[in-house]
Amino acid sequence: MVRCARCCLRKAMGVMNIVVTLCGIGMIIYSLWLQKMWEIGVSDLPSIANLPKPCQKLNLIVSTTFSMSNFIVATWN
């Protein structure tokens, strides 16, 4: 009985890790798309000197690091 519960728990955790990893990858893709839309929208404005610049590189690095570390842990177990 305990062995079956451990097996089910391990499978559930594996599935959850995959779901979280896919959500992280989706967030990265969405942030790249949003950056593209930002650039298109800003190009239509007359003066872009006063607009804030999004910190896209830092967000991309952090998101990629967390997603890849989660993926590595999920496949390692």
The DSSP line for 28-77 is HHHHHHHHHHHHHHHHTSS--TTSPPP-HHHHHHHHHHHHHHHHHHHHH-
Question: Rounded distance, CA 44 to CA 37, Å?
Answer: 11
pTM: 0.53
> pLDDT for 15-50, tens place per residue?
998 999 899 899 989 988 988 888 887 767 666 566
Q: Do 74 and 14 form a contact (C-beta atoms < 8 A)?
A: yes
Looking at residue 56, its pLDDT comes to 65
Looking at residue 69, its pLDDT comes to 75
Looking at residue 52, its pLDDT comes to 63
> pLDDT for 48-73, tens place per residue?
566 566 666 777 777 777 777 777 77
Q: Do 2 and 59 form a contact (C-beta atoms < 8 A)?
A: no
